[in-house]
Each structure stands twice: as structure tokens, then as C-alpha cells.
Structure 1
């Protein structure tokens, strides 16, 4: 399979036009990210809408996101929350978190979203020690090297029946190559191995093509 095809983005554009439509607040978020020099690695618009609909479909009231970047996916997730819902999103870089804070506030979702800045493993350990309401949905789109560790925390911090979503789990097919020169592949493979051995979750993954080229989402449900 080729790494890219212009038709993939064309189909995404068709889907957005017919099913999602123009969204000035989200356009402004992406423009602010670009102006601030953030990497252009956000989920696509179609993927963002999928996250919103998953949150709505599961009735999520408490969502955890690992990897905020500029807040694009956080805005989508927050839109899917119930009226009194909350989203806790983790970001390593203070500069990115500051951009995200502005974007989320301008999108009208500020009251629902808490951004925690710092190294994610330490933040997750703190959340675990704190206790509190378990999460209904966890979305992970961060450093792939720690994906298996994030899985452990996601399970620990979630209720039975919670939905876990991991992004970028195919990597142009590199995930099946144990000798891949993509430094993000080993951590992604570790996630699959951890899920294979973990009796606490049921999981699957789907390959995707589109504006973000050839990749995939992994979905798991906590038993």
C-alpha cells in the first residue's frame, strides 16, 4: 500500500462538506497552532468529530486525554461531554498548554476543561493517588514510547465499561515490522503486546487513510 494518495484527503474533504460543515472556532484553533509554531499533528476533522460522537454515544461525563498539543482534539471531546462533564487533558510542554488554554476558552469549552502540565507518567501517578471519579473515556495521542504505560494507567483510572482510544497505531504499516527504523514503532508494538496479554480489556484496531495519510485508531473497552 502506498504511503499517500491525494484522493484520501479529497474524500476527507467530501465527508467534512456533507457531514460536518465549516467550523470557524476549530479553524481558528488550527490557525493559532500554526502561528505559534506547533507541529501539525492534530487529529483530522473527521477523526475529531468521531471522538465527539464517541463521547456522546457513551454518555461520557469524565474524559481523560493524554496529549493536548494545541487543544484541537480537546475541543471536540469537550463538545461530546454531558452538561456537567469534565475533561482532564495532559500536556508536557508549557508553551503548547498555553496555546491550548486560549484555543479551548475561545471555543467556549473552557469551563469543562482542565489542563495539567508536566510529564504525563508523573501526572497520571498523581491522579491515581488522588482517587476521584473514574473516567468514562480515555483518548491517548502522545509519545508512543510510553503507550503501554499509558494503557496501564488508563485501565486503573477508568470504570468498567470505559472506552479507551489510542491514535497512530498503524504508522504506514510499520507496526508489523519489528525492524522498522521509525523510532515510534517499538512503543506502538509494546501497546499491542500489552493488550494481547491483558485480561482486563477487549480491543481492536482499524486502519485509516485520509488527510493524516495511512495510520489507525485502536479502541478498547475495560471489562
Structure 2
């Protein structure tokens, strides 16, 4: 088995940004990171590309009694994506779906408020949006994110991660307009194996990086580089 591909999420983000350079310094580019681990990666991507950064929060809707089985997901912007096969097979009534979605919706709103600290969400309609995470395993959260983001009307969706199994990247590529996976090691096992440092990203770190990105973005707008 190969050794770790990246020192930490920041170095992974810089490597990912190199592969996304063609999106750099374009007014229509937006970077959305899946918290929490995707935010340090997304911060480096957004900084390198000169693009605004925001979070895109996804919450799985677990099937009642079988919470590990996803009957759908909700995401930033009040979007709900359901898995009709699971709902039909298990026979989940609409009231139960609504109850789970309401509970997860409250947690999603709590997280967004905590992360953004009063800043509004980025408007993605008609924009080229780069969805970033620190890696994919099965890709279920990213699939939900793409489906939810699609409903907000972006011009294009680019899924970008430092590391993922080749099969997952190919699966995501059927949903996104562009997919970038820097490394696709086999056998894969788990995202964390491909980082030397893979400590859990804290809520405080997410808040700090988003605040820093917002500050840098507003400074860049106030003092645009010549040419």
C-alpha cells in the first residue's frame, strides 16, 4: 500500500487548487465546502482561485429504526432530496419523513448560523460552483450535495476532492459537470489513511476559516489587482 498522499488538509487544498487553476480569478466562480473537514481544503482552493468561500451543509435523513440507511438528505438552502426506492421498500409514511426532515433541518440551521456568524449565504444561481470535501469514500454525502445544489440553479457544478476511490469519482462524474480527484489510490480503505495529519476539524476552525475568507474576499474587492 502507498504512503499518505498529503501532509494535511491545507496541503491537500493547495494541490487541489493547482488542478482547478482554469477556474481562477473569474467573477462567476464560487467555492462551497462540505463541513467540517472540507472547509480547510476549500479555504486553500478559494484563496488560490480568488473566489468567495461558503459552507454547503448536508444532513442525511436516516430511516426511522435503521438510521444508517439514508432515505434522503437535506442541504443548505432548504433543499430536500429523497430516495424513493428506500422510502417505498421500507414503507415510510410522509409524516415520519417530515418529522425527521424537521429535526435535521433544525440542526442544519444551527450549524449554518454557527459557522456563518451572521454573514448571508453565497448566491449560487447562474454561477460556476466548486463543491469541495477532504475526500470521498462512498460519495453519498457528495451525491446529496450535488442533487441539492442543482436545485439552486448554478450554471455548472464542479466536484473537487484531493482523494477518492476511482469508482466513486467515476460515479460522481455522471452527476457533476466536472469532477476533479487529485489521487485515486487502490486499495482505498478510508479517506484518513491518505493524510499524515487527519485530526477532526472543529467548529471553531470552520468559523475562523470562513471569517478569514470573507475578510480576504472583501479586501480583494476593495483593492482589485491591476489587469
What range describes the TM-score normalised by the shorter chain of this pair? Answer: 0.3 to 0.5
Whose RCO is larger (CA < 8 A, sep 6+)?
2
State the structure with more CA Rg. Answer: 2
Q: TM-score w.r.t. structure 1 length?
A: 0.40
Q: TM-score w.r.t. structure 2 length?
A: 0.40
